[in-house]
């Protein structure tokens, strides 16, 4: 393993501990040109202990669910329906506004083959993106970050590549070459803490290296805290929360993350955690409170980001090591299970329900659900689309080739995809559309403004599923600049149907999708700073 040489960072390490160097990250940033552009950010929120998926996204029309959960089932009347076959636990009410605006993706039946029912092993698997049959000592995000920052670990980026809040597990940020991020509980005071206790780079001053790998690692941690302290603390000082967060651990973590985002910390990955989902006993109240803490904190987080004008830059993904047994146990709880739903939330997320409803009549011998969706497909979707990572790099990070799901758009800062030459069999697909067409009639208000239009929304796409000709109906509560665009599953823009200034009211837009391969596409409406997305199925 190569050693880090902090001296390469403009010689600051030589002065490390001798003088404070608050200028350093700024200088490094300016050199890197990073401050000019805001990149995509992923927040991974882990629900530790194994979240009960069936009581989170409830199959409220399935009588088998009510048969298996005589004491624990969420009453049908309490469920917040999303679709005909699934709805949210009532404690997740703060998430419904994201559903309404197309910013909540529900990924059903997430897991991996032969799921391991040990918390510890399964958590390792999910963090390392490995399978049940293989133990990998590095985290998937860390492997990705190592590939993204060429030069690591010999040189460190000016800002931490990842920042972990609220829990101390080492695997998520453990790369193949080194530790790729920092754990910081209180960013605002971090620099003061480090400044008071950091002593200097003793090995590098005279090139003394005792050849002790463990000691070298401790020194790396020591040096990393110093290297990032100023950047983290100044972002925390610059940034400010615009809304108040619910009292509690997860609210504190998300408030901190939002504050750092607002302070323009160039960190692309944040980790947060909420614990105690291991509800073997007395589940109803405990689970309800956990879901409420989660939903309230997430609601505040995205309201905050919106107020900061950063809602287009951040997506949040929930993960959990497994779901829980279909049949409840005698202690009003549930034992360890397998597949469970995960959530992806944020304006760039393409809202909807993905994967089929849990099949409660086809269980494994232990009485657990079968896996519908490999969790690595979810990771692949974020790496590939949201971060614009080349496919072979995604394969390297995820230790295999996994398909993607159309759950998120590409961040505007991503370079256009050099791998995409367009669909050679589709003359209407020019690949990356540099020069969008404006087909169709922008139309006008086809009906007077009904009194109930209070928000931007896509009312319908019809027919859906269907062929190339569709009619899109959408609402504008006020006059706005409007764009109506079609994206493919990877977040590439294929068509622009509308780019015009329109009055308030309900509008109807005839749209020719062109010849498209069968599959899922996404219609996005951008109006007055708001974005709405609707899934379009082409048959």
Partner 1 sequence: MGGTFPATILGRIQSQLSVQTVNSTPGQDFMGPIESHARGEPSPSVQFASLEGRPASAWPETGPWTRLPAAPIERLPMSRGLSAAMLRGLSAAVPFVLAVLVCLAFFLAGAARAEDVGLPVTPSQPHGWAPYSGDFGVDEAAHLLRRTVIGPRFAEVREAESAGLAVTIDRLFTRHEVEEPGDWVNEPFPDWWALTQAQRDSVQRVMNARQKVLRLWWCENIATGPPDLTETMTLFWHDHFATAMRDVQIPQSMYIQQALFRKHALGNFRAILNAIIRDPAMLIWLDGRWNIASDPNENFARELFELFTMGEGTGYTQEDISEAARALTGWMTDGVDTWFASWAHDDGEKTILGETGRFGAAEVVEILLRQPETSELLAGKLYRWFLSSEPAPEDVAALAAQLRDADYEIAPVLRTLLSSAAFFDPAYRGSLVKSGVEIYAGALRSFEVDNFDPGVYDLQARFVLAEMTDFGQILFDPPDVSGWPGHLQWLNTQTLPKRKFYLDALINGRFERAPLAMGIKVLDVVNQFRDPNDPEQIVDDLALLWFGQAPTELIRQTMLETLLQGAEPYDWSIELPDARKRLEDLFRFVVRVPEGQLK
Q: Which of 31, 240, 366, 537 binds partner 1 (CB under 8 A)?
A: 366
Per-residue x/- track, 29-48, partner 1 (CB under 8 A): -------------------x
Cα distance between residue 385 and residue 406, in whole Å: 9
Q: Give yes or no for residue 206 binding partner 1 (CB under 8 A).
A: yes
Which one, 288 or 483, has the nearer CB to partner 1? 288
Subset of 174-193 contacting partner 1 (CB under 8 A): 174, 179, 182-186, 188-190, 192-193
Which one, 86 or 191, has the nearer CB to partner 1? 191
Q: Give yes or no for residue 253 binding partner 1 (CB under 8 A).
A: yes
Mind giving me the DSSP string for 320-332? -S--B-SS--TTS
CB 489 within 8 A of CB 406: yes
Subset of 323-352 contacting partner 1 (CB under 8 A): 329-333, 335-336
Q: What are the distances in angstroms from CA 385 to CA 4, 78, 89, 423, 493?
A: 31, 36, 30, 18, 12
Which one, 190 or 474, has the nearer CB to partner 1? 190
Q: What are the distances in angstroms from CA 278 to CA 282, 324, 336?
A: 11, 9, 8
Q: Give yes or no for residue 282 binding partner 1 (CB under 8 A).
A: yes
Which one, 180 or 511, has the nearer CB to partner 1? 180
Which one, 68 or 490, has the nearer CB to partner 1? 68
CB 458 within 8 A of CB 473: yes
**Neighbouring C-beta atoms of residue 271, cutoff 10 Å:** 26
Q: Give yes or no for residue 118 binding partner 1 (CB under 8 A).
A: yes
* Shortest distance, position 399 Cβ to partner 1, whole Å: 16
Which one, 29 or 325, has the nearer CB to partner 1? 325
Q: Which of 2, 19, 70, 424 binds partner 1 (CB under 8 A)?
A: 19
**How would you class 438 by CB atoms within 10 Å of its CB: exposed for 0-12, middle for 13-18, buried for 19 or more?**
exposed
Mind giving me the DSSP string for 169-193? -SGGGB-SSSB-SEE-S-HHHHHHH
* Shortest distance, position 528 Cβ to partner 1, whole Å: 33
Mind giving me the DSSP string for 233-254? HHHHHH---SS---SSHHHHHH
Locate 297 and state its tokens.
């904190």
Q: Which of 27, 93, 286, 453 binds partner 1 (CB under 8 A)?
A: 286
Cα distance between residue 242 and residue 206, in whole Å: 48
Which one, 222 or 475, has the nearer CB to partner 1? 222
Cα distance between residue 408 and residue 344, in whole Å: 8
Cα distance between residue 65 and residue 69, in whole Å: 6
Q: Give yes or no for residue 17 binding partner 1 (CB under 8 A).
A: yes
φ, ψ dihedrals at 323, nearest 5°: -95, -155
* Shortest distance, position 475 Cβ to partner 1, whole Å: 39
Which one, 48 or 509, has the nearer CB to partner 1? 48
* Shortest distance, position 6 Cβ to partner 1, whole Å: 14
Q: Which stretch binds partner 1 (CB under 8 A): 276-284, 375-383, 445-453, 463-471?
A: 276-284
Q: Which of 8, 32, 83, 135 binds partner 1 (CB under 8 A)?
A: 135
* Shortest distance, position 379 Cβ to partner 1, whole Å: 16
């Amino acid at each position: 393993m190569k050693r880090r040489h902090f001296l390469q960072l403009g010689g600051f390490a030589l002065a490390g501990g001798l003088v404070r160097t608050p200028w350093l990250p700024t200088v490094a940033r300016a050199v890197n040109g990073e401050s000019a552009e805001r990149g995509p950010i992923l927040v991974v929120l882990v629900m530790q202990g194994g979240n009960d998926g069936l009581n989170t996204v409830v199959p409220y029309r399935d009588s088998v669910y009510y048969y298996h959960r005589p004491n624990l089932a969420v009453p049908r009347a309490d469920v917040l329906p999303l679709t005909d076959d699934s709805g949210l636990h009532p404690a997740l009410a703060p998430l419904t506004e994201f559903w309404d605006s197309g910013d909540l993706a529900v990924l059903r039946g997430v897991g991996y083959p032969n799921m391991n029912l040990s918390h510890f092993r399964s958590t390792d698997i999910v963090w390392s993106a490995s399978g049940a049959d293989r133990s990998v000592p590095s985290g998937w995000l860390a492997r990705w970050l190592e590939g993204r920052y060429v030069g690591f670990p010999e040189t460190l980026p000016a800002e931490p590549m990842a920042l972990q809040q609220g829990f101390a597990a080492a695997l998520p940020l453990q790369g193949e070459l080194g530790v790729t991020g920092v754990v910081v509980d209180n960013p605002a005071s971090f620099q003061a803490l480090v400044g008071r206790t950091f002593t200097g780079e003793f090995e590098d001053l005279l090139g003394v290296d005792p050849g002790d790998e463990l000691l070298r690692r401790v020194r790396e941690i020591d040096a990393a805290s110093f290297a990032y302290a100023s950047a983290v603390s100044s972002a925390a000082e610059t940034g400010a929360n615009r809304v108040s967060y619910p009292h509690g651990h997860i609210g504190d973590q998300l408030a901190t993350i939002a504050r750092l985002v607002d302070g323009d910390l160039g960190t692309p990955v944040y980790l947060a955690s909420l614990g105690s989902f291991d509800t073997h006993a007395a589940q109803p109240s405990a689970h309800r409170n956990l879901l409420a803490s989660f939903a309230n904190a997430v609601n505040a987080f995205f309201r905050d980001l919106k107020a900061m004008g950063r809602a287009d830059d951040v997506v949040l993904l929930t993960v959990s090591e497994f779901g829980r047994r279909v049949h409840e146990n005698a202690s009003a709880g549930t034992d360890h299970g397998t597949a469970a739903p995960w959530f992806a939330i944020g304006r760039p997320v393409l809202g909807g329900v993905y994967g089929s409803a849990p099949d409660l009549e086809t269980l494994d011998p232990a009485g657990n659900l079968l896996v519908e969706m490999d969790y690595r497909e979810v990771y692949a979707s974020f790496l590939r689309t949201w971060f614009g990572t080349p496919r072979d790099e995604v394969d390297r990070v995820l230790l295999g080739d996994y398909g993607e799901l159309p759950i998120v758009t590409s961040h505007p800062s991503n370079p256009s995809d050099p791998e995409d030459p367009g669909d050679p069999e589709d003359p209407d697909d020019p690949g990356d559309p540099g020069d969008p067409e404006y087909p169709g009639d922008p139309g006008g208000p086809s009906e007077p403004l009904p009194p109930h239009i209070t928000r931007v929304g896509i009312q319908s796409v019809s027919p859906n599923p269907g062929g190339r000709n569709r009619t899109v109906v959408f609402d504008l509560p006020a006059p706005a600049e409007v764009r109506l665009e079609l994206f493919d599953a990877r977040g590439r823009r294929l068509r622009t149907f509308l780019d015009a200034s329109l009055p308030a009211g309900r509008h109807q837009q005839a749209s020719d999708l062109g010849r498209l391969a069968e599959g899922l596409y996404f219609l996005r409406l951008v109006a007055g700073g708001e974005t709405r997305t609707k899934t379009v199925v082409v048959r």
